[in-house]
Amino acid sequence: SQTIHQWPATLVQPVGSPLSLECTVEGTSNPNLYWYRQAAGRGLQLLFYSVGIGQISSEVPQNLSASRPQDRQFILSSKKLLLSDSGFYLCAWSVQGAHTGELFFGEGSRLTVL
């Protein structure tokens, strides 16, 4: 069966510090991968998605970046965090080429920037 894990689960970082959130998927090949951010009272905001190794699409211009160094690994990074980067970050995968909205989410990472 397929599983998805992301870490760390919680993170408290000072403004201006770097960030690295990691996500790995097991049990499937060539998945679509996504990074979302969820702010209180708002819908999920798509940050990045990837259809293959090294292929990253950015939906929202910001100080975050994403990389996909391996087929089932997706990393969200920042060189300098802002207060506005606080939120609940979710990694997700879907079946490649299925054009489906059925996403499978990781456990989430709660980031607090102080």
Partner 1 sequence: GQNIDQPTEMTATEGAIVQINCTYQTSGFNGLFWYQQHAGEAPTFLSYNVLDGLEEKGRFSSFLSRSKGYSYLLLKELQMKDSASYLCAVLDSNYQLIWGAGTKLIIKP
The residues of the shown chain that bind partner 1, judged by CB under 8 A, are 41-46, 90, 99-108, 110
CB of 32 to partner 1, least distance (A): 10
In the complex with partner 1, the residue whose CB is nearer, 73 or 108, is: 108
CB of 16 to partner 1, least distance (A): 27
Of residues 62, 56, 63, 51, the one with CA closest to residue 18? 63
In the complex with partner 1, the residue whose CB is nearer, 16 or 27, is: 27
* Farthest-apart Cα atoms in the chain, separation: 40
From the number of C-beta atoms within 10 Å of its C-beta (0-12, 13-18, 19+), residue 79 rates as exposed
> What's the CA gap between 28 and 48, in Å, rounded?
20
CB of 36 to partner 1, least distance (A): 8
In the complex with partner 1, the residue whose CB is nearer, 29 or 100, is: 100
In the complex with partner 1, the residue whose CB is nearer, 51 or 53, is: 51
CB of 91 to partner 1, least distance (A): 9
Rg (CA), the chain: 13
Asked whether 85 and 17 are in contact (CB, 8 A), the reply is no
